[in-house]
Structure 1
């Protein structure tokens, strides 16, 4: 790994500013730059600065495969394997897989056996970790990569043992028989060959007996806990249940606009807790570098048996399908560039901005520029519909929805815009280095480069305010309460970006791969806003801290109900004497000595004992559901938790601690149902 890449952009920018300062040019350049009104004008100015072109340079990209490096990591993995440190050995074998020279077309083209040996050794470690499916995958990889014939019997034996553990006895018998056949190529002495043959005959006999028993009695089934984190079906919105203009949204939602709040979502009807309000694939997404070694670069699935990009030493994939899709989409350009992007200091938003552009062909970018020049979108005058196509649809696959996201250019300091513009120039040079512009019929001239640079600059401003993290739930099945999400990647979602913030949000986000599913976590009344959360929650963060965070990153001062009323932090939330809610007008009710509740807004009066009875009855069901959740029985707990939320919504005014508890339990259920990985202690 080239240490010269670490913080490369930051170092280049520092040297640029130092040079301009020493030349006495910084103030004049800043003043002239401040006069530029559009991102394209800013980039045209940056591209014309000799000092920028001198200091901002993209280094050599490709870090080549190396048998020597692969062998070194494999040897390190072998040492850890002998110490029974199987998880650590898998990590080393994966690095060996990454660096091993890769066959290009057929297994016989493999330059050496390093790749096959790395796969085979990793399969042995995975066998000890009882990762049967991943072990089988690696055995398949090794055999496909011309694993030495003299060692093949070991893989077939291991394959048979994995299949036996999975209850696939007939397939296991076939593998054991293949191992017997392969022994003849092993060059073993007769004594060793006889011992192995007898051992395999025993495996075959037991496998045949087990297969007969399975046929008679049926399979006993998998570990019931396995279903908790197996691939669950991603929720979908039926075509007739989608919003007519914003198809990622449910028909229960509408988008509206006001000058002071911009675009935001409201409910067209009452929405109950648990209802899906959005399902959206991002326009573009990235996996964060810390996750490269364990997650598929394309679908973000956790996988031990990842296979590498055939050229670079960064990207790994869970399947050939993901590898091919990645190469056809963005990795064909990014291959060899990932090392620069992850270590140069451009950060996740810089990488995401570049990938967003690379996913639009240069031909389509020029076509889009020409449409803007001709004013083809001028007919879309209302702010509500900005980003819609000419048919009036706000499609998540349409680049224009991303380009039209707010950038807050007017709120930014000149120094902030200047740094982002120089970063856009760095990313533009990356695009040139990977021959992005070669697809254009016209060469990148004085018009194309400032335009594409302007698009990059726009994204570098809008993404910090609009992009979302892709999360995965790290589940400790022995301690669900302490289980928590971790960040896998970052993505830009055009419709999800339209949700405004509340410190008491109405919805919760979960991810299936990089697809975002948004569900209601409270009852949302007709015409009420459907609010998301930008990372500042009233029960966790004091009001002033929340407001500082939101103002610094999102450029607004929060005035949601928890901020207006300064709701308490979780430890101080009331949990003894609730404030009752009127079921008619939804105002609060006061409790008098006569045992009656009186609405503070309308004439409604209710019996305190009746309301308590309703609450206690529902609370008992909630506690039973909560106990099921503690054993990760999501399917049997979720309905009871959602029902209790509905009862609390109808009867209790917030804040109320048990409401927070129930809401968090519902969120844990949704987390287990989506991207979820069981961690081992």
Structure 2
């Protein structure tokens, strides 16, 4: 269906209270097919799009001939780049089964010859000889080798053809052909002598084909399971920096439309001068005939002529699911997932993958396909955590994918009935959500701006079965990148044994905590890496009753409701979360009001209220929180301005200790005003009067009956306050005036108690 029809259906469902009240995907999809649009209506809409897409992507001999004439005209007028572009369009509209296809590549060879692109010449000659072995195209190939100074390889090829063994199915049919090749061989020998002063050049060594593998996991890491963070990787030993710990071939990779003409649709290598189209449609491009045949056997035959429809008019996740189900077989995929039903683990997959699935996909047996699909089916999907709009959108797209799969595979003829259709579409929906949360984005810099990350190109989205289990950290220790369609995970720094392996899902150090959590909302979790814990403690938070960790509020609320009101350190729920947030807000406001009131009026009642509020601050929140630190400093102003009413030394000391507990180790620079520093001096003086002077070890105010343990408490608090002054000096050392104030206040505090 087109985007306007889809949008209309989604809007109608999203505004329907009955649909919103439904609890399961099956109920929602059944309601969609009953109340919004019938299966037959939807099938007719999809069929029209199907036909339209195929009409626009099928090959046309008329267009091929027109582009060939254009290429010939451009070539004759020496507009070689335009000629090359036109001949590529002509090739795109010509089937490899047609004789014109080889002639077009011969014309392409001629254009590359004039452009002096000898590597592209050799490729074009190889395509010609591969499809139509004859002396004419063999000579093109040998000629290209000679221009590349691959003299030994060219002579070896000629000798092989002239010899009795021939070259594959190609053999010379007459003596004149042998004589022609022998003459050409002599010319190459002469050319090699002139170019190399009698020595022979050899073709550069070709890299041996790398053995096929699904993934390569280093022995220095392993996968473990935890009730808190789930399945994740840890280091089994110390790992140095810049070590590859995992290489993986994506289980599913869908190229963006912009890269269909620059990346091979099978191996995902850069095409460069290579250009081999599908035999039946004009959409994807491949490296060579072998890549086309492999892709066609695995998945392209199911989406030939429809790939642009699947990618441009469906969501990314829908395109992945359509391809995965087609590769596996829609009913086979449904049955495997029904049988598995969560009773499968990554450990089983890792134990099995080395047995017989490490071969190219076109060689997989049904049992091998099932192993891969079974592993993909146990990845997280967060199915139950979506809201009304996304439920509506996903239901519409899932049914659309199910209809398209039926048009291609005709699975409803084997499993008729509305109930199965609803169950199948529900399975499609869950897999779409699974894709969404387990894909890696493949990006590349534009050639014109290699250092500008904002101009990077999005090449593809890819699902990796093993790499998807690596957890996120905003201060990750592993980076990942792409090389010709393979994803590689490399350590960014040295990793200690037992340390968790982490990557970033997007957020990093350059973002605020709010922005990072906003991005992570997409994945329905709150990050508790060191950076996020530090930032969470500095923002609005409650003190966790279990571990003293931060329970964040007032920032980006997590899309998973169960995480709101939980400590991001231990993930324990904070009881009466909303009431505690409300109480903390009231406490901060009351302290601010009392501080303003104290400037004109002081009383013991205000002091008692301020002391109670300060105790509430300590109890409810963490001292690292900047909003709390600001309120604590305001409360200090209240006590300082009403100090003449504080006649009880014991009360003063307890307030000083409470003030010490409420302050962070290092006060933020923007809070270090003169009022703040004078308040610190007030409490430092109070504590020093009850403390042994550190430098001389003599009690300033000696009390024989004083308990030594209590005295140590006072001294420890005084020492902390002194350290805060010293930290303040370091923080503001560029501001000489403020630094001088701090130093003078410390000096005054000590002098006042001597």
Name the TM tier (shorter chain).
Answer: 0.5 to 0.7
Contact between 2:151 and 2:201, CA under 8 Å: does it hold in 1?
Answer: no
CA contact (8 A) 1:349 1:463 kept: yes
Counterpart residue number, 1:669: none
- 1:16 matched to 2:16? The reply is no
Structure 1, unaligned runs of 5 or more: 1-7, 104-109, 178-199, 238-245, 568-681
- 1:68, CA displacement in angstroms? 1.0
Number of matched pairs: 491
TM-score, normalised with respect to structure 1: 0.62
Partner of residue 150, structure 2 = 168
Which residue of 1 is the match for residue 89 of structure 2?
A: 95
Query: TM (normalized to structure 2)?
Result: 0.57
Q: 1:66 aligns with which of 47, 53, 60?
A: 60
Q: Which residue of 1 aligns with 2:112?
A: 126
Deviates more, 1:51-60 or 1:83-92: 83-92
2:239 aligned residue? 271
1:406 & 1:299 partners in 2: Cα distance? 27
- Once the two structures are TM-superposed, the CA of residue 202 in structure 1 deviates from its matched residue by 11
CA offsets 1:490-517 (integer angstroms, 9 cap, x no match) = 2111211111222232112233433322
TM-superposed CA distance for 1:355, in Å, is 0.9
Q: Please tell me whether the aligned partners of residues 151 and 200 of structure 2 are also in contact (alpha carbons under 8 angstroms).
A: no
CA distance in 1, matches of 2:127, 2:487: 32
1:315 equivalenced with 2:284 (yes/no)? yes
SS at match of 2:223: strand
Q: 1:262 aligns with which of 206, 222, 230?
A: 230
Higher relative contact order (CA 8 A, sep 6+): 1
Structure 1 CA distance, aligned partners of 2:514 and 2:80? 47
For 1:167 and 1:392, how far apart are their aligned partners in 2? 47
Spell out the pairing of 1:309-348 with structure 2 (5 A cutoff): 309-344=278-313, 346-348=314-316
**Cα distance in 2 for residues equivalent to 1:98 and 1:288:** 19
Corresponding residue of 1:352: 320
Q: Distance in 2 between matches of 1:315 and 1:272?
A: 41
- Measure, in 2, the Cα distance between the counterparts of 1:170 and 1:391: 47
Query: What is the SS of the residue equivalent to 1:451?
Result: helix
1:230-255, Cα deviation, whole Å (9 max, x unpaired): 96986999xxxxxxxx9753232233
2:125–2:141 Cα contact (<8 Å) kept? yes
| Partner-residue secondary structure (3-state), 1:509 | strand
Q: Does 1:219 align with 2:201?
A: yes
Residue 411 in structure 1 maps to residue 369 in structure 2? no
1:246-277: per-residue Cα shift (whole Å, max 9, x none)?
97532322333444433322212111112222
Are the aligned partners of 1:253 and 1:277 in contact in 2 as well (CA < 8 Å)?
yes
1:510 aligned to which of 481, 487, 500 = 481
Secondary structure of the corresponding residue to residue 434 of structure 1 = helix
Distance in 2, matches of 1:275 and 1:506, equals 11
User: Which structure has more helix as a fraction of its residues?
Assistant: 2
Residue 535 of structure 1 and its aligned partner are, at CA, apart by 2.1
- In the other structure, the counterpart of 2:659 is none
Match for residue 488 of structure 1? 459
Match of 2:125 among 135, 139, 150: 139
Q: Specify the alignment match of 1:548 in structure 2.
A: 518
1:306-328: CA deviations, max 9, x gaps? 22221112122212222221122
In 2: Cα distance, 1:527 partner to 1:235 partner: 31
Which of these residues, 423, 433, 438, is aligned with residue 451 of structure 1?
423
Q: Tell me how far apart the structure 1 counterparts of residues 326 and 432 of structure 2 sit (CA, whole Å).
A: 15
Evaluate the alpha carbon distance shift between residue 282 and residue 450 of structure 1 in structure 2; reply closer, same or farther with a 3 A threshold: farther
Question: What is the CA deviation profile of residues 531-559 of structure 1, one whole-angstrom value per residue up to 9, with x for unaligned ones?
Answer: 111122324x44433332222x2223334
Residue pair 1:286, 1:352 contacting (<8 A) in 2 also: yes
Larger Rg: 2
**Residues 52 and 83 of structure 1: CA distance in aligned 2, closer, same or farther (over 3 Å):** farther
Change in CA separation of 1:550 and 1:370 when aligned onto 2, cut-off 3 Å:
closer
Superposition map of 1:22-421 within 5 A: 27-28=15-16, 30-32=17-19, 34-37=21-24, 39-49=25-35, 51=37, 53=39, 54=41, 57-58=45-46, 59=49, 60=51, 61-63=53-55, 64-78=58-72, 81=75, 86-87=80-81, 89-103=83-97, 110=98, 113=100, 115-142=101-128, 159-169=141-151, 206-211=187-192, 217-219=199-201, 249-303=217-271, 304-344=273-313, 346-372=314-340, 378=343, 385=345, 388=348, 397-421=371-395
Contact 2:64 2:89 in 1 (8 A): yes
Find the counterpart in structure 2 of residue 463 from structure 1: 435
Does the C-alpha gap of structure 1 residues 563 and 26 become closer, same or farther in structure 2, counting only changes over 3 Å? closer
Q: Which runs of 5+ in 2 are unaligned?
A: 160-180, 359-370, 537-754
SS at match of 1:265: strand
Residues 201/250 of structure 1: CA separation in 2 closer, same or farther (3 Å cut): closer
1:596-623 deviation per Cα after TM superposition (whole angstroms, max 9, x unaligned): xxxxxxxxxxxxxxxxxxxxxxxxxxxx
Local SS of the residue matching 1:422: helix
CA distance in 1, matches of 2:482, 2:114: 31
Shift of 1:416: 0.6
In 1, the alpha carbon distance for the partners of 2:224 and 2:312 equals: 41
